[in-house]
Chain A
Amino acid sequence: MEEQLEVETRRQVCVELDRVLVELMDCLERLATLRGRLSREVSEGYFNMAKSRYSMGPLSVGQLQYDSVMAPTCLVEVDDEEAPGNQDPDETTPAANKTTETGLAPSHTVFRVFRPTYSGDGEGDGRGRGGGEEEEEGGVRRRRPHTGEAEPRGEGVEEVERRRDGGEGSEGKAAVKNPLNWFGVLVPQALRQSQKHFIRVTGVCVELATEQSRLETLRRHFTTLRYRKQQLSENS
């Protein structure tokens, strides 16, 4: 009876190992895709910046146009409440045992980008609404803008109501000044394109960080399961 139980447990561990390995490979593939995307967006961003320097003059797009101290327009939220933390792979912790039995992988740290709409956007430049599908994949929270226009909702996008008290409004307004205006109001399209590419880069970086964290968690889980399997083999 006990032998049958051990065989069954070992079988479950092997099935879980296979599942985690496949997930690990998928995660690696996603990582490679994201890295390729990041490299493309960064090179496009720099290329468009070079084109705008060519048309505006070499000194028009550089350090002289912005403050040495600045407030960020983009924030990253880190959600690691369910993260497994620093697990010693040599020890079988209750959490690892629990995941083996239930078949669920432990949670990983999730990063989300939080980007408010820029002030001073004309008619539907859509920078705050832009990056549509890419932002949805990364899990983006967006504030509903003051205009009250209906934002297109998509999967993975969380709408956060903006508080209307003066302090929040003025603080929010100062934080969302468009960096594009550092270089003038009438900037060429190449510089706008460059900004769009770099906005996408921040989204991709956050997705990369989440996938990297997931990969690390899967790797630890895999190591724990292998150790468990080895122990079961030794006991039988």
Chain B
Amino acid sequence: MDEYIFNVDNGYLEGLVRGFRSGILARGDYLNLVQCETVEDLKVQLQATDYGNFLQNEPSPVPVAVIDEKLRGHLVVEFQHIRNHSVPPLSTFLDYVTYSYMIDNIILLITGTLHQRQIGELRSKCHPLGSFEEMESVNIANTPAELYSAVLVDTPLGPYFKTCISQTDLDELNIEIIRNALYKAYLEDFYKFCQDIGGTTAEVMGEILQFEADRRAFIITINSFGTELTMDDREKLYPTCGRLHPEGLARLAKCEDYDHVKAVADFYPEYSAVFAGAGTNPGEKTLEDKFFEKEVEIT
């Protein structure tokens, strides 16, 4: 029955997305880009793609930061167009996509404020998809409690902040804990939302979010070796919506070096393959590279 009324809410957007899908850069486009020797060549090659004349009004030579900004701006315009034409549950789903960028922006603003950077300078570096109205007030907070009560309580990230208020001040360790705790709460909430929708959404997004949760658990564990983060604090940052929950996460929490982590990954065939080819020698792919490849494979 839903198929008859699908086009009422989603027909236009599905057509748009199919068009965007065909405009994604293919292997041939990348081969052309690799052949470029100057930024001007790059501009000409990109004009032939769906990006079009996005750099037309920029004076040469174009800095890399401007190209990055303009490319991202192109994506943001398309995303916001889809978001503006969507209704629940698609609008809620798209909002969830923006929350990860919001978290990154908040952390960037807090860190920049701690280092006496001007709010205008920080604001221009924030990701546009993660913008929210109260962003510029982040610099007034000195403790997580102030940050919550003054800024975040009315934002979509408010509910995720409850676990972070117990921190007493904003130093590097606590900011890292806040970042990862926010992301954990967001990921678990997003996973629950997708499962509640059910159907293809639950199946496809479930796999993606489980992989993301497990990847974060592995990376947090490996990067925490030799730092002030204790094993108990580390365990609290693991998202629990992945395949590793609960036994894998319990084992990861007790790991003391890279080999222990690799031993935990060996219990899961999809992750043992990722760890198998990774290394730090020149010419080898790093663990992050292998995780990126796996992510592309899944999506």
**A interface with B by C-beta (< 8 Å):** 51, 54-55, 57-59, 64-68, 120-125, 181-182, 184-190, 193
A188 cross-chain contacts in B, Cβ below 8 A: 219, 223, 288
Assess the B226–A121 pair: CB atoms within 8 A.
yes
Assess the A186–B180 pair: CB atoms within 8 A.
yes
B172 cross-chain contacts in A, Cβ below 8 A: 181-182, 184-185
B280 cross-chain contacts in A, Cβ below 8 A: 189, 193
B159 cross-chain contacts in A, Cβ below 8 A: none
- Chain A: CB-nearest residue to B228: A120
* Chain A: minimal CB distance from B297 (Å): 18
Assess the B112–A64 pair: CB atoms within 8 A.
yes
A189 to B225, CA, bound (A): 10
Quick one: CB contact mask for B157-180 with A, threshold 8 Å, 1 for yes? 000000000000000110110011
- Chain B: CB-nearest residue to A184: B176
* Chain B: minimal CB distance from A127 (Å): 9
Assess the B68–A186 pair: CB atoms within 8 A.
no
- Chain A: CB-nearest residue to B65: A58
A121 to B227, CA, bound (A): 6
Assess the A67–B116 pair: CB atoms within 8 A.
yes
Interface size grouping (class) on chain B: 20 to 34
What secondary structure prevails in chain A residues at the interface with B? loop
- Chain B: CB-nearest residue to A47: B282
**B interface with A by C-beta (< 8 Å):** 68, 104, 108, 111-112, 115-117, 121-122, 125, 172-173, 175-176, 179-180, 219-220, 222-229, 280, 286, 288
B122 cross-chain contacts in A, Cβ below 8 A: 64
A57 to B130, CA, bound (A): 14
Assess the B223–A64 pair: CB atoms within 8 A.
no
Assess the A58–B68 pair: CB atoms within 8 A.
yes
Assess the B224–A64 pair: CB atoms within 8 A.
no
Assess the B115–A66 pair: CB atoms within 8 A.
yes
Assess the B104–A122 pair: CB atoms within 8 A.
no
**Interface-central residue, B108, B121, B125, B288, by most chain A CB under 10 Å:** B288
A65 cross-chain contacts in B, Cβ below 8 A: 111-112, 115
B228 cross-chain contacts in A, Cβ below 8 A: 120, 122, 185
Give 15 CB contacts A-B under 8 Å. A58-B68, A64-B108, A64-B117, A66-B115, A67-B116, A68-B116, A68-B117, A121-B226, A122-B227, A124-B226, A125-B226, A182-B172, A184-B172, A186-B223, A188-B219
Known: A68-B115, A122-B225, A187-B223. 19 other contacts (CB 8 A): A55-B288, A58-B68, A59-B125, A64-B111, A64-B122, A65-B115, A68-B116, A122-B226, A181-B172, A181-B173, A185-B172, A185-B228, A186-B176, A186-B180, A186-B224, A186-B227, A186-B229, A189-B280, A189-B286
- Chain B: CB-nearest residue to A64: B112
A122 to B233, CA, bound (A): 15
